[in-house]
């Protein structure tokens, strides 16, 4: 069950749309919604003369404080007309650590696709990538332009991995309220596909009352992440459910892989579990 949702909020327009999506989900699932903003320490590039460092730090700190004020305003404005089962929390320090600490008391974490901490030199990846690996909860990664919480058409990226199994079971409450669910299987052309695997998954989800399509969408390809991205875009899905980092993280970071590629480029919300 998803009865406790956690959304990280920043002061941007994307942050407001993300809160709107979270509010809609909380209403559909009859869940409590906690809004969180984590303010990191001011981070400036090491290019300033010593005499200018203090002023640069002060400007960066003021900018961070303004973002925190904007985030709180957004959350309170967007939740003012819904049930009182909401909560606002503020923290300071490392953003990923702050999100993961609060995720201990949530069933799902909602993050922005490109939410960043500090300079790209120190933190090259958006916080969603690190949070997926560390928080121990399913993470819904929301592109900046998305605000609807009506996931009527859902795709499941299925490769039989432990991570995919975890993601599907974490997503069961969302799959139950979806209009339709497709299983999308990426198959390497040189590997013989087990037809009973997808059929068994379909039967399992049907026992949970999920409206899953009878036919499995099979895509034979050597370029898994590119083919998956194309399939999701052409299929006009509202949500993608997938396991995260079934390959070693360092390999995906250096050579690319389905998790990193999908989280960076997807125009559709992605629910990932690791």
Residues of the chain with pLDDT under 70: 45-49, 51, 53, 83, 118-124, 187-196, 220-225, 245-261
Q: Looking at residue 254, what is its pLDDT? A: 37
**% residues pLDDT > 70 (the chain):** 82
Q: Model-level pTM greater than 0.95?
A: no
| Domains of the chain (ranges, CATH numbers) | 4-142 (3.40.50.620), 153-273 (3.40.50.620)
Q: Looking at residue 226, what is its pLDDT? A: 72
Burial of 56 from C-beta contacts in 10 A (0-12 / 13-18 / 19+): middle
Report the SS3 class of residue 10: coil
Q: Looking at residue 142, what is its pLDDT? A: 95
Q: Looking at residue 10, what is its pLDDT? A: 95
Which helix (H) or strand (E) covers residue 198, if one does? helix 195-206
Cβ-defined contacts of 128-132 (< 8 Å, 24+):
128/263, 129/260, 129/263, 130/96, 131/96, 131/99, 131/100, 131/103, 132/244, 132/245, 132/259, 132/263, 132/272, 132/273, 132/274
Q: Looking at residue 82, what is its pLDDT? A: 79
In this structure, the number of other CB atoms found within 10 A of the CB of residue 50 comes to 6
């Amino acid at each position: 069950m998803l009865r406790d949702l956690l959304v990280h909020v920043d002061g941007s327009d994307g942050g407001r749309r993300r809160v709107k999506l979270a509010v809609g989900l909380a209403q559909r699932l009859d869940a409590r919604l906690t809004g969180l903003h984590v303010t990191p320490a001011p981070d400036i590039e090491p290019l300033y003369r010593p005499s200018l460092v203090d002023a640069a730090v002060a400007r960066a700190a003021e900018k961070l404080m303004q973002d925190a004020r904007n985030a709180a305003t957004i959350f309170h404005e967007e939740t003012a007309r819904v049930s009182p089962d909401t909560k606002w929390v503020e923290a300071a320090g490392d953003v990923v650590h702050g999100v993961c600490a609060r995720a201990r008391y949530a069933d799902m974490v909602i993050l922005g696709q490109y939410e960043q901490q500090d300079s790209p030199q120190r933190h090259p990846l958006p916080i969603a990538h690190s949070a997926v690996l560390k928080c121990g909860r399913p993470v819904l990664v929301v592109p900046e332009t998305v605000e609807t919480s009506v996931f009527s058409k859902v795709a499941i990226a299925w490769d039989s991995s432990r991570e995919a199994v975890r993601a599907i079971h974490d997503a069961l409450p969302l799959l139950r309220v979806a209009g339709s669910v497709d299983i999308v299987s990426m198959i390497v052309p040189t590997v013989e596909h087990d037809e009973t695997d997808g059929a068994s998954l379909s039967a399992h989800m049907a026992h949970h009352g999920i409206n899953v399509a009878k036919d499995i969408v099979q895509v034979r390809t050597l370029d898994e992440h590119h083919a998956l991205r194309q399939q999701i875009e052409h299929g006009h899905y509202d949500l993608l459910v997938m396991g995260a980092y079934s390959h070693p993280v360092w390999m995906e970071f250096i050579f690319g892989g389905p998790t990193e590629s999908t989280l960076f480029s997807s125009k559709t919300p992605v629910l990932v579990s690791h």
